[in-house]
């Protein structure tokens, strides 16, 4: 502020910047609050999916453990060696409050539900069928969980970035502009008062010189 030039032009510039900063501060606060609201929705969805996925995997692994106990390791390995079904994974993006979050989708090679079993049903145990069914059912939830967790990460980064900008405006830029405006206004008032005093002195001197009148 020591090098600040206290002129009306600078004062108007500072007032314009303060107005812009105040408007930007409000918009960023609104964005931060909305991001936080949507982030909490994603967090709740993440919790639901994680519980669902963990339950599905627990069920699948329990069935697989039983299957491995009643089938020989060689037969189990041979049964799972050549899968019939294949999956194509695609990814697109959607914009959420200026954050590009991923959207995953998948397509199976065929719509036949029986293709999830890469073996003949006659030579394997029913527990292996249960394990494959459980794994197939939990796959879509696992994919959504990955999508939701990546969305959480990206949104958390954007929230932090927005929070820093809000704080920079609220605690640094806006107070500095307000301080500069106060300083310039005070200096302009001092200059104006000094000018008035000088003009009164000049007027007094002119009157004394012209009319020998003690003003």
Domain that holds residue 146: 8-203
pLDDT 10s digits, 55-100: 988 888 888 888 777 777 777 776 666 666 667 788 889 998 888 9
Residue 63 lies in a domain: yes
Tell me the C-alpha distance between 136 and 116, whole Å: 7
Higher pLDDT, 34 or 78: 34
Residue 163 lies in a domain: yes
DSSP 170: I
Residue 34 lies in a domain: yes
Q: Is the pTM of this model over 0.75?
A: no
Residue 211 lies in a domain: no
DSSP 119: S
Tell me, what CATH number does 14's domain have? Answer: 1.10.287.3240
Provide the number of structural domains found in the chain. Answer: 1
User: What pLDDT score does 131 carry?
Assistant: 78
Tell me whether residue 138 is exposed, middle or buried, using C-beta atoms within 10 angstroms of its C-beta: 0 to 12, 13 to 18, 19 or more. Answer: buried
Q: 24-28 contacts: CB < 8 A, separation 24 or more?
A: 24/169, 25/166, 25/169, 25/170, 25/174, 28/162, 28/165, 28/166, 28/169
């Amino acid at each position: 502020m020591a090098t600040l030039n206290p002129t009306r032009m600078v004062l108007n510039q500072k007032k314009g910047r303060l107005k812009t900063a105040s408007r930007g501060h409000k918009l960023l606060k609104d964005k931060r609050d909305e991001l936080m609201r949507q982030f909490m929705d994603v967090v709740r969805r993440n919790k639901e999916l994680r519980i669902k996925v963990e339950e599905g995997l627990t069920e699948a692994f329990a069935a697989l453990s039983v299957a491995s106990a009643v089938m020989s390791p060689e037969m189990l390995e041979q049964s799972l060696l050549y899968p019939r079904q294949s999956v194509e994974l695609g990814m697109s993006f959607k914009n959420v409050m200026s954050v590009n979050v991923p959207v995953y989708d998948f397509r199976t090679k065929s719509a036949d539900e029986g293709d999830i079993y890469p073996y003949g049903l006659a030579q394997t145990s029913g527990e292996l069928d249960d394990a494959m069914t459980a794994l197939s059912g939990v796959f879509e939830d696992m994919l959504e969980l990955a999508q939701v967790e990546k969305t959480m990460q990206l949104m958390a980064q954007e929230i932090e970035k927005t929070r820093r900008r809000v704080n920079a405006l609220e605690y640094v830029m806006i107070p500095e502009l307000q301080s500069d405006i106060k300083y310039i206004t005070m200096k302009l008032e001092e200059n104006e008062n000094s000018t008035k005093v000088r003009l009164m002195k000049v007027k007094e001197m002119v009157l004394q010189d012209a009319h020998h009148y003690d003003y």
